[in-house]
Amino acid sequence: MKDKKALVVFSGGQDSTTCLFWAREHYGSACAVTFDYGQRHRREIESARRIASEFGFTHEIIDLGALFAGLSPLTDHSRAVDKYEPGQPLPGGLASTFVPGRNILFATIAANRAYVLDCDAIVLGVAQQDFGGYPDCRQDFIDKMEAALASGLDRHIKIETPLMHLSKKQTVELAVTLPNCMQALAYSTTCYEGHFPPCGTCHSCILRQKGFAEAGVDDPLLGNSKFSASEVTHNA
């Protein structure tokens, strides 16, 4: 597929960063789109901006305003992010951090940008093995979303989900094989609180820690002295 082009929905986190470098390896070229949707902190947007700039990706940031306000602590600052003790099992069912309709809208807007940019595929960093119970991260949703987009466009744009059936351990192992991906992960943001060093107790931090530990790989973010907390302005 080296003669094709992919658009990556890029949050600046671990999974989407891995997908960005996966797309560069598997397609002739890859570009990125980041959505500013009033999320809890600005750090992930700045992470996305920095990674794209330093590693030579064309990058667009789209401001969606407060469209997703409410319900989730990721978009409602009055709600606390759930915390967990080391070794504590993560709960099943739908996580409180679920943002209703987020991936539906992201895929829809990404289809527009992919069409305009003449991309053959959209790449999403969703994985149904995440312990969040997110219905918009499952293979069934992706299959139906791809079919819906194809029916509304005059050409087919494939939705790629390279992490869909991978554990966090396997995602880390994939990142190790992708040129420059581990270096880029040193600037990624996974922590729901947007902290650096990461808080280490939110759902997302626990999964990241578990993945690197099980893979026997040091997380490059934790050794990155260049990524200081003073670099990013947080939301109030």
> What local confidence, expressed as pLDDT, does residue 161 receive?
98
Map out the domains of the chain as residue ranges: 5-231
> What local confidence, expressed as pLDDT, does residue 226 receive?
60
* Buried-state track 72-107, b at ≥16 Cβ within 10 A, e below 16: bbbbeeeeebeeeeeeeeeeeeebbbbbeebbebbb
Low-confidence ranges of the chain (pLDDT < 50): 228-236
Nearest-angstrom CA–CA distance, 55 and 109: 24
> What local confidence, expressed as pLDDT, does residue 229 receive?
38
Give SS3 for 148. helix
> What local confidence, expressed as pLDDT, does residue 144 receive?
98
CATH architecture of 5-231: 3-Layer(aba) Sandwich (3.40)
